[in-house]
């Protein structure tokens, strides 16, 4: 009881203690939640209609597209530039699909599974023709081949012990098909939505008749022009003028992505005189090695630092580097030229022509591949196939027996020239290039035997077996270090933008400027590998006036320092960033008012033509409302003038028409209707043209939707 009383006496203190403990617990959980939320926000690559896409989801979409490209093109890797193009395409497609699905959901537009089945069964969608499931004779999509593959895919996946390469191929083809199927569904949804929009552009009779009149009514005029250039005095533009014009035209300056203004110094690192002399010395030694009777060209060229590997396959002239191709016919077989410098790509070169021959540029063939547990079994099967073929059994029927198509295939020089070919591929192409048309032969390729039948050979051309050493005239480490140290010293000495600009030229550097850089761009100063500099520029923590560190970029042959001079994260360009444009618009407005005032007192075109700076009176024929008139004398297109002429009566003097190049006055001298009869055919043709205008307008719906979707693109933080 005493203990209970003590607790009661200290109740307030205990409640406070428990309260603080509970608060600490809640605060701890809040911090964890906040940290988790921040971590999650840092993983967001973008947002559409408030729905975020994280980096992993985006990378999955990119990987899906990359796999499709690799499968359909047969390429193994994509370079950084190609990957950037893929990421752009994936992001743009994602945004458009999100916009479309959002609108379609509100309107109740869907694409059902039954519709998809009908589209695939019909086989007319262009995407289907790009798949491997095609009739070999017609090239059209074949649903039976698709169904056969899907059945085989399930069988292969369910059977244990399948070779890894077989599983890989079936997986790639299956995922390729699912990608095509998904895109057909999205395309169909887009077509439905756009068709709905197009229906809203059905013209009424009044609009149709006005459009017809605008096409058929032509007028001839006498025209007097006072060009803006006739005013030589400077037009004064006040700050208030700029603000007023900015607000008037503000929607023209809407932006969807952050913008930065920068200044920068780009230092290109080049080989010194000592570097060039050292490279030339090494190239002379390589040239001597290549002249040896037993020279191993592949080994010599591999060790030389050449950008071109040796390939014993003969190639056409246009498959050689341009500078080498220009000289190849001046070199006799067995002779060598070089070292010589090619200024076009800054390289030292040695060329040795080993052989010249005439070979087909295109070869049509069929093949059957034979694999077995042992070489003896493979050879036995190949011999059996050859016996059957020699007995007249159709090639494709034998191929089907071994689960192959044996289809007729063309191979061209362009498909393998420039590629690094292994020994088997070289043997394969050499066999096809030299095998006589109509013959069938065996070719052993490692553990496989290929049975090849050559059907046709076209376009016999000269081909060259050339050993080429093409070595870039690179700078040495010593040159790089000296250039870097000199630039570092300059940046360490002059720390502000003002100091850097004031001292750059005398120190051998040039400050360049770039205004209006968008976060959706991919490099700085048109240099590759500037990702870190780009992130620094668009990092919200980077303040205007700051100078970056030195970045090594390009192909590790450029040094870059960036200075941030302006930033804009708003929805519109700033007045200052569009000042020059506003200035020119205001000057034109004021000049137009001055020229209109000069015209006001003139009674006819002759009086206007006497005003200082006026152009001679011109005759303009066949002016219609639907097409802006182009004035040769002013060098400008003038839609406002076309509209004014369409309204004017014959003989009427119209003055003070403000145009793009000046202020105009005119008098209509003649008019006619080229198609005066507004009959049923004319109505129908005009209606079609108005509808086509609507279709073109509806195709721009994506831009309108993007303004409403509050799209956030944070890719620049990741790539």
Please report the pLDDT score of residue 394 as a whole number. Answer: 92
Q: Tell me, what's the pLDDT at 616? A: 93
Higher pLDDT, 402 or 60: 60
Same domain, 291 and 435: yes
Cα(629)–Cα(704) distance, integer angstroms: 30
**The last residue of a domain, from among 444, 472, 500:** 472
DSSP 3-state of 412:
strand
Q: Is residue 78 part of a domain?
A: no
Same domain for 294 and 402? Answer: yes
Separation of alpha carbons 464 and 413, rounded Å: 12
pLDDT bucket at 135, cuts 50 / 70 / 90:
confident
Residue 23 has pLDDT above 70, yes or no: no
Full strand arrangement of the beta sheet holding 551-553:
511-518, 259-268, 558-568, 551-553
Tell me if 48 is assigned to some domain: no
Q: What is the predicted pLDDT for the residue at 200?
A: 76
User: Of 462, 450, 459, whose CA–CA distance to 366 is shortest?
Assistant: 450
- Which residue, 92, 33, 137, is CA-closest to 715? 92
Residue 386 or residue 29, greater confidence: 386
Q: What is the mean pLDDT of residues 25-43?
A: 48
Q: Do 191 and 695 meet the contact criterion of CB atoms below 8 Å apart?
A: no
Range of the domain at 609: 217-254+578-673
Clarify whether residues 616 and 509 are in a common domain.
no
Between residues 566 and 196, the one the model is more confident about: 566
In this prediction, residue 19 carries a pLDDT of: 41
Residues 293 and 419 in one domain: yes
Question: 359 in helix, strand or coil?
Answer: strand
Q: What does the pLDDT look like over 660-672, one tens digit per residue?
A: 999 999 999 998 8
pLDDT confidence bin for 330, thresholds 50/70/90: very high
- Kindly state the percentage of the chain with pLDDT values over 70: 88
Report d(CA 211, CA 208) in Å as an integer. Answer: 5
- Report the share of the chain in percent with pLDDT over 90: 62
Distance (Å, rounded) from C-alpha 372 to C-alpha 449? 10
pLDDT at 197: 80
Within a domain: residue 134? no
Quick one: which of 582, 566, 567 has its CA closest to 240? 582
Quote the strand ranges of 198-258, DSSP E. Answer: 217-227
The reply to whether 611 falls in a domain is yes
Are 529 and 591 contained in the same domain?
no
651-696 residue pLDDT tens: 999 999 999 999 999 999 998 876 555 555 544 555 556 656 665 6
Of residues 490 and 37, more confidently modeled:
490
Q: How far is CA 271 from CA 54, 488, 505, in A?
A: 44, 19, 22
| pLDDT attached to residue 5 | 39
Would residue 325 count as lying in a domain?
Answer: yes
Residues 451, 587 within the same domain: no
Assess contact for 349 and 469: CB atoms under 8 A: yes
Inter-residue contact 419 to 365 (CB < 8 Å): no
| Average pLDDT for the chain | 87
Q: If you search the block for the tokens 């929607």, which residue do you land on? A: 251
Instruction: List the beta bridge partners of residue 262.
Output: 514, 564
Helix axes 239-248 and 579-600, enclosed angle (nearest 10): 100
CA-only gyration radius of the chain, Å: 37
Distances in Å between the Cα of 571 and the Cα atoms of 240, 252, 327, 707 are: 22, 11, 57, 10
Q: Is 185 contained in some domain?
A: no
Residues 377 and 464 in one domain: yes
Q: How many CA atoms lie within 13 A of 525 on its CB side?
A: 26
Q: Tell me the C-alpha to C-alpha distance, in Å, between residue 3 and each of 6, 10, 277.
A: 5, 11, 97
Same-domain pairing of 306 and 416 = yes
- C-alpha 712/C-alpha 91 separation (Å) is 11
Q: Considering the domain boundaries, does residue 341 fall inside one?
A: yes
Work out the pLDDT band at 698, boundaries 50, 70, 90. Answer: low
- Residues 485 and 600 placed together within one structural domain of the fold: no
Residues 283 and 397 in one domain: yes
pLDDT of residue 195: 83
pLDDT at 702 over 50: yes
User: pLDDT band at 323, cuts 50/70/90?
Assistant: very high
Tokens of 522: 């991919």
- Please report the pLDDT score of residue 20 as a whole number: 40
Quote the crossing angle between the two packed helices 164-199 and 113-122, to the nearest 10°.
110
Q: Rounded distance, CA 87 to CA 85, Å?
A: 5
CA angle 636, 642, 645 (to 5 degrees): 130
pLDDT tens sequence across 60-99: 999 999 999 988 877 778 888 889 999 999 999 999 999 9
Give the pLDDT of residue 8.
36
Position 226 pLDDT exceeds 90: yes
Report pLDDT for 37.
Answer: 44
Domain of 342, CATH number, reads 3.10.50.40
Same domain, 604 and 639: yes
Q: Region 346-375: what's the mean pLDDT?
A: 93
pLDDT band per the 50, 70, 90 thresholds, residue 30: very low
Please give the sequence-ordered ranges of beta strands (E in DSSP) within 610-696, or none if there are none: 615-623, 629-631, 636-638, 653-658, 662-673
Quote the longest CA-to-CA distance of the chain.
119
Do 259 and 518 touch, CB atoms closer than 8 A?
A: yes
End residue of a domain, out of 472, 502, 517: 472
Reported confidence tier of residue 306, pLDDT bands at 50, 70, 90: very high
- List the Cα angle 73/76/82 in 5-degree steps: 75
- The DSSP letter of residue 487 is H
Better pLDDT: 659 or 26:
659
* Cβ atoms within 10 Å, residue 100: 20
- Asked which of 438, 472, 506 is the last residue of a domain, the reply is 472
Let me know: does 146 contact 135? Beta carbons within 8 Å: no
Quote the crossing angle between the two packed helices 164-199 and 55-73, to the nearest 10°. Answer: 110
Pair of tokens at residue 548: 């970056």
310 and 380 co-located in one domain: yes
CA distances from 121 to 117, 141, 143, 151, 653 (A): 6, 9, 6, 17, 66
Q: What three-state secondary structure class fits 13?
A: helix
- DSSP H helices, 391-439, are 395-401, 413-416, 423-434
Higher pLDDT, residue 389 or 32: 389
| C-alpha closest to that of 178 among 149, 157, 158, 156 | 149
Selected residue with higher pLDDT from 594 and 22: 594
Number of structural domains in the chain: 4
Name the DSSP class of 524.
B
pLDDT over threshold 80, residue 548? yes
**208 belongs to a structural domain:** no
Residue the block writes with tokens 């895919």: 153
Read off the tokens for 629.
């008139």
Cα-based distances in Å from 401 to 173, 369, 380, 398, 454? 22, 12, 16, 5, 20
């Amino acid at each position: 009881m005493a203990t209970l009383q003590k607790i009661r006496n200290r109740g307030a203190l205990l409640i406070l203690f428990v309260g603080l403990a509970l608060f600490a617990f809640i605060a701890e959980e809040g911090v964890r939640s906040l940290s988790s939320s921040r971590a999650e926000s840092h993983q967001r690559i973008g947002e559409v209609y408030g729905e975020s896409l994280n980096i992993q989801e985006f990378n999955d979409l990119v990987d899906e597209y990359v796999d499709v490209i690799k499968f359909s093109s047969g390429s193994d890797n994509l370079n950084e530039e190609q990957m950037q193009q893929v990421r752009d395409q994936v992001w743009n497609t994602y945004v458009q699909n999100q916009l479309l699905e959002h609108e379609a959901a509100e309107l109740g537009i869907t694409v059902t599974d039954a519709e998809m089945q009908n589209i695939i069964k019909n086989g007319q969608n262009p995407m289907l023709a790009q798949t491997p499931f095609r009739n070999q004779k017609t090239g059209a999509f074949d649903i039976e081949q698709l169904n056969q593959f899907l059945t085989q895919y399930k069988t292969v996946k369910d059977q244990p012990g399948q070779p890894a390469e077989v599983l890989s191929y079936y997986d790639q083809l299956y995922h390729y098909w699912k990608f095509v199927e998904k895109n057909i569904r999205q395309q169909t949804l887009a077509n439905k939505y756009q068709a709905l929009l197009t229906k809203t552009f059905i013209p009424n009779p009044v609009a149709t008749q006005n459009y017809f009149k605008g096409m058929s009514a032509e007028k001839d005029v006498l025209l007097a022009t006072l060009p803006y250039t006739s005013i030589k005095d400077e037009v004064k533009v006040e700050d208030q003028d700029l603000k007023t014009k900015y607000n008037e035209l503000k929607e023209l300056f809407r932006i969807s992505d952050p913008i930065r203004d920068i200044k920068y110094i780009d230092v290109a690192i080049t080989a010194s005189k000592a570097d060039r002399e050292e490279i030339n010395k090494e190239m002379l030694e390589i040239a001597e090695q290549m002249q040896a009777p037993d020279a191993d060209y592949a080994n010599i060229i591999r060790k030389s630092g050449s950008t071109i590997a040796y390939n014993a396959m003969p190639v056409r002239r246009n498959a050689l580097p341009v500078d080498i191709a220009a000289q190849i016919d001046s070199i006799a077989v067995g002779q060598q030229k070089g070292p010589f410098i090619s200024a076009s790509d800054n390289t030292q070169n040695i060329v040795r022509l080993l052989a010249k021959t005439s070979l087909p540029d295109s070869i049509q063939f069929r093949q059957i591949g034979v694999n077995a547990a042992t070489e003896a079994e493979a050879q036995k099967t190949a011999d059996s196939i050859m016996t059957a073929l020699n007995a007249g059994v159709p090639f494709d029927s034998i191929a089907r027996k071994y689960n192959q198509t044996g289809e007729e295939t063309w191979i061209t020089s362009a498909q393998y020239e420039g590629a690094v070919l292994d020994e088997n591929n070289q043997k394969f192409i050499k066999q096809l290039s030299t095998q006589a048309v109509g013959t069938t032969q065996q070719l052993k390729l490692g553990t496989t035997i290929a049975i090849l039948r050559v059907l046709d050979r076209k376009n016999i051309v000269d081909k060259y077996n050339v050993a080429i050493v093409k070595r870039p005239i690179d700078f040495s480490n010593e040159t790089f270090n000296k250039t870097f140290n000199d630039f570092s010293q300059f940046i360490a000495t002059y720390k502000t933008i003002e100091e850097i600009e004031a001292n750059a030229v005398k120190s051998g550097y040039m400050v360049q400027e770039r205004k209006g850089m968008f976060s959706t761009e991919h490099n700085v100063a048109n240099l590759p590998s500037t990702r870190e500099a780009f992130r620094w520029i668009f990092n919200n923590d980077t303040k205007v006036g700051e100078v970056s560190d030195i970045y090594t970029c390009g192909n590790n042959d450029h040094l870059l320092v960036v200075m941030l001079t302006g930033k804009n994260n708003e929805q519109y360009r700033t007045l200052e960033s569009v000042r020059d444009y506003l200035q020119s618009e205001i000057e034109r407005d004021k000049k137009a008012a001055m020229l209109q005032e000069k015209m006001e007192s003139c009674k006819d075109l002759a009086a206007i033509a006497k005003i200082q700076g006026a152009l001679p009176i011109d005759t303009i024929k066949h002016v219609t409302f639907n097409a802006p008139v182009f004035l040769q004398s002013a060098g400008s297109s003038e839609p406002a003038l076309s509209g004014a002429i369409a309204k004017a009566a014959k003989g009427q003097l119209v003055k003070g028409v403000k145009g793009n190049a000046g202020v105009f006055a005119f008098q209509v001298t003649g008019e006619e209707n080229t198609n005066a009869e507004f009959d049923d055919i004319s109505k129908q043709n005009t209606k079609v043209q108005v509808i086509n205008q609507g279709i073109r307008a509806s195709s721009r719906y994506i831009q309108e939707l993007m303004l409403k979707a509050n799209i956030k693109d944070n890719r620049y933080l990741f790539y």
